[in-house]
């Protein structure tokens, strides 16, 4: 059985009197309908993308330095980060200096997903799949569509995963949404717009 998801690590890193990020609550029951995914663009110490999948009432999260690619030949490094609250899926704003993850955040892509993870022909729930080190999903986003696989390559302190696009109709070697579609799917704003408005 996977460990019970918890927001303890998420909360311990943050001071909610200073950061506009949601404190969040762990929902006992999953939300209705298909589970959600979100990709945040986060201009912190270094720019990266946070890939998040709803599972067990939280958002399972990975930081992807180069962002998702639609080219199945690209193997994008993905470092696991702490579970985030479901409310975080809608978060955009500026995390103040001195706070964990200080910098500007926007919702780069969002939508629903289907879990395709199987083991010996049997479906594996996402939280369990994360523990086992392999997750396969079908994304229905605005920029990202189709199958993606997340696979753990290294365990331990510097745990590392790879995020790879599967070969299907959503694959595209030429379209590079990270470059061509930098704006928020929630507000249409760029990182610069959000940073400017927060001033």
Q: How many CB atoms lie within 10 A of CB 84?
A: 24
CA distance 36 to 154: 27
Contact region for Mn ion (CB under 5 A) — 15-23, 48-56, 141-149, 186-194?
A: 48-56
Q: Which of 50/54 has CB closer to Mn ion?
A: 50
Q: Which of 124/130 has CB closer to Mn ion?
A: 130
Min CB(72)–Mn ion separation in Å: 25
Q: Which of 53/124 has CB closer to Mn ion?
A: 53
> According to CB under 5 A, which one of 7, 36, 49, 50 is a site residue for Mn ion?
50
Q: Which of 45/120 has CB closer to Mn ion?
A: 45
> According to CB under 5 A, which one of 36, 42, 52, 84 is a site residue for Mn ion?
42
Q: Which of 21/54 has CB closer to Mn ion?
A: 21
Q: How many CB atoms lie within 10 A of CB 43?
A: 18
Contact region for Mn ion (CB under 5 A) — 22-30, 39-47, 128-136, 155-163?
A: 39-47
- Long-range Cβ contact pairs of 60-68 (< 8 A, separation 24 or more): 60/126, 60/127, 60/130, 62/150, 62/161, 62/163, 64/163, 66/178, 67/39, 67/41, 67/108, 67/178, 68/39, 68/109, 68/144, 68/148, 68/163, 68/165, 68/177, 68/178
Min CB(172)–Mn ion separation in Å: 25
Q: How many CB atoms lie within 10 A of CB 154?
A: 11
Give the number of residues in contact with Mn ion, rule: CB under 5 A: 2
Interacting residue ranges for Mn ion, rule: CB under 5 A: 42, 50
């Amino acid at each position: 059985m996977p460990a019970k998801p918890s927001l303890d690590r998420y909360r311990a890193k943050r001071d909610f009197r200073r950061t506009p990020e949601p404190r969040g609550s762990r929902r006992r029951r999953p939300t209705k309908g298909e589970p959600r995914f979100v990709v945040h663009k986060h201009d912190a110490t270094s720019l990266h993308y946070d890939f998040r999948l709803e599972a067990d009432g939280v958002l399972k999260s990975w930081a992807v330095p180069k962002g998702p690619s639609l080219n199945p030949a690209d193997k994008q490094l993905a470092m696991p980060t702490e579970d985030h609250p479901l409310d975080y899926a809608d978060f955009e704003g500026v995390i103040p200096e001195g706070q964990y993850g200080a910098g500007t955040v926007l919702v780069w892509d969002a939508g629903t997903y289907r879990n395709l993870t199987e083991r010996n022909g049997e479906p594996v729930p996402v939280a369990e799949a994360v523990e086992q080190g392999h997750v396969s999903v079908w994304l229905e986003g605005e920029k990202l569509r189709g199958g993606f696989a997340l696979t753990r390559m290294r365990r331990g302190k510097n745990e590392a995963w790879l995020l790879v696009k599967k070969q299907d109709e959503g694959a595209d070697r030429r379209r590079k949404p990270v470059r061509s579609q930098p704006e928020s799917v929630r507000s249409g704003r760029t990182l610069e717009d959000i940073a400017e408005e927060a001033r």
